[in-house]
Chain A
């Protein structure tokens, strides 16, 4: 399906960390993307609805509070059900609890269907460069 340079952005689950979300929105806008920022406490369904309606090219999911593994699981499957199975899914933040190496976390999320996974402390520019590459912009 034809996808555009819109990005659906939000902090998933019961997470209310709003600062990083704003920084990502500003950085994406500056880089020329159109951002649909759903803010904090966003459910999987809200991400999908917004992406369906706007034909967005990517969904960026943030999770800072440690419950990301539960919140993020199943998003790819639901996207397939909603007819947007090929959408890019990026996840970033404190994605798990417990002592795990980032390589383990990355593998876990890739198995869950995410295209790109980022540890805490990643600069927005890094992910934006990947997005441009993935969308072939």
Chain B
């Protein structure tokens, strides 16, 4: 018995072949993604590198996709720090890309903006249960008046959801009501909303994106980031230790953290909006290829050159970034370019972790000095998993990851001394696809792929 697992990425279509009985990794291949022809061409090309013999006995096919922009969501809520933030967390946790998020009553310009963004789905939140009904109903009315051709998930004040449905019914292509993303102030409840988004993804969005043929053929079940998240969840639950995953892609850098992130030091007060147990963040300006130029705007070439062991003019790094961003499937050549690639990867990891993790600020009160913690404390992370092409094909993944975990801001609560692992076969997403139906097999295969790189000081 074998499983064929496909990840339609924005650049490459990656195919992994697993044996299920006994569980094991057989092989993987990839070919450029073909969005224009409905993904099948690229899939065929990737499948060509397997022999007919190898493909015999495939009983299980599943696919995930981040091609054609992935799952693109617009989130609407009431207060930015409360229901807007909760809606964002729910969408990110469903593997989506957030195109924009809006607070308070939408105005005409914002409706026009949403229309122009052409999201795959609109998530409408607002009000705690029994709380504000006015704004979510006003927003429902504006969406309905504009007749936005977008499926809507309503996940706001339960006492307003029936009315929201009557307003929106028949005016939008699909309407799903689910539990409030923030039933009480500062309490997140993102699971039902994640499920509702996933259901819509299966039933509506793949069809709207013209992916229904692929869907029928290989079972396109979720956006890729969700598959990665499921794989991480499996590790987290089986290890019973806090896990952080960094997925360093060409266009974005995703970070997933598993654990409650409660303070690991005394004398702290936790402030700010609540954080989900399984938190995902997406950095659209940090990527190894497509987003390389925006990365250089965040981390200056001068800063980058400091981490290299030889002298480099900023101009050379800028030229390298242009070259790498311009051609699809670019691979660094020679020692100098590989060093650039490594330094950029480390910088992207560091910055993505800093944004994902919580932070401490010092405050003075009449009681003395106190630390205020905002966000998750990840300093106690036990297991750090790195994935992504740039690392899987790197010659020295260990030193790149270690450099990425260097702490240059002691007040950023990033992982301090985790055990490091590399997803060497690049199959985190593939194993996430079988994590629900065959968790034991998925775990065995994951462990085959996860190459231990030692600790932070090795």
- Which chain B positions have C-beta within 8 A of A65? 365-367
Q: Are A36 and B184 neighbours in the complex by a CB distance under 8 Å?
A: yes
Q: Is A30 an interface residue (CB 8 A)?
A: no
Residue with the greatest number of chain B CB neighbours at <10 A, chosen from A15, A34, A40, A53 = A53
Q: Is B214 an interface residue (CB 8 A)?
A: no
C-alpha spacing A38/B372, complex, angstroms: 15
Q: Are B366 and A52 neighbours in the complex by a CB distance under 8 Å?
A: no
- Which chain A positions have C-beta within 8 A of B367? 16, 65
Q: Are B131 and A53 neighbours in the complex by a CB distance under 8 Å?
A: yes
Q: Are A54 and B365 neighbours in the complex by a CB distance under 8 Å?
A: no
Which of these, A4, A40, A46, A54, contacts B269 with CB under 8 Å?
A: A40
Q: Is B133 an interface residue (CB 8 A)?
A: yes
Q: Are A50 and B185 neighbours in the complex by a CB distance under 8 Å?
A: yes
Q: Are A54 and B81 neighbours in the complex by a CB distance under 8 Å?
A: no
Which of these, B83, B364, B365, contacts A53 with CB under 8 Å?
A: B83
Residue in A closest to B127 when the chains form the complex, CB atoms: A53
Q: Are B82 and A50 neighbours in the complex by a CB distance under 8 Å?
A: yes
Q: Is A1 an interface residue (CB 8 A)?
A: yes
Which of these, A40, A52, A66, contacts B78 with CB under 8 Å?
A: A52
Known A-B contacts A16-B269, A36-B184, A49-B79; the reply to A54 vs B132 at CB < 8 A is: yes
- Which chain B positions have C-beta within 8 A of A40? 269
Interface string of B330-373 (1 = CB under 8 A from A): 00000000000000000000000000000000011111001010
Interface residues of A in 1-58 (CB under 8 A from B): 1, 4, 6, 8, 14-16, 34, 36, 38, 40-41, 46, 49-50, 52-56
Q: Is B128 an interface residue (CB 8 A)?
A: yes
C-alpha spacing A15/B370, complex, angstroms: 11
User: How many A-B contacts are there with CB distance less than 8 Å?
Assistant: 69
Q: Are B271 and A54 neighbours in the complex by a CB distance under 8 Å?
A: no
Q: Is A67 an interface residue (CB 8 A)?
A: yes
C-alpha spacing A66/B132, complex, angstroms: 34
Interface residues of B in 178-227 (CB under 8 A from A): 182, 184-186
- Which chain A positions have C-beta within 8 A of B454? none
Interface string of A78-119 (1 = CB under 8 A from B): 000000000000000000000000000000000000000000
- Which chain A positions have C-beta within 8 A of B133? 55
C-alpha spacing A14/B128, complex, angstroms: 27
- Which chain B positions have C-beta within 8 A of A55? 127, 130-133
Interface residues of B in 65-106 (CB under 8 A from A): 78-79, 81-83
Q: Are A14 and B182 neighbours in the complex by a CB distance under 8 Å?
A: no
Known A-B contacts A4-B130, A6-B130, A40-B269; the reply to A54 vs B370 at CB < 8 A is: no
A14 CB to closest chain B CB, in angstroms? 4
Known A-B contacts A50-B82, A52-B78; the reply to A66 vs B127 at CB < 8 A is: no
Residue in B closest to A49 when the chains form the complex, CB atoms: B79
C-alpha spacing A112/B225, complex, angstroms: 50
C-alpha spacing A54/B157, complex, angstroms: 9
C-alpha spacing A53/B184, complex, angstroms: 9
Q: Are B185 and A14 neighbours in the complex by a CB distance under 8 Å?
A: no
Q: Are B82 and A49 neighbours in the complex by a CB distance under 8 Å?
A: yes
Residue in A closest to B272 when the chains form the complex, CB atoms: A46
- Which chain B positions have C-beta within 8 A of A15? 365-366
Which of these, A6, A14, A54, A56, contacts B366 with CB under 8 Å?
A: A14
Jot down 6 A-B pairs with beta carbons below 8 A, ordered by A.
A14-B366, A40-B269, A53-B82, A53-B83, A54-B128, A66-B366
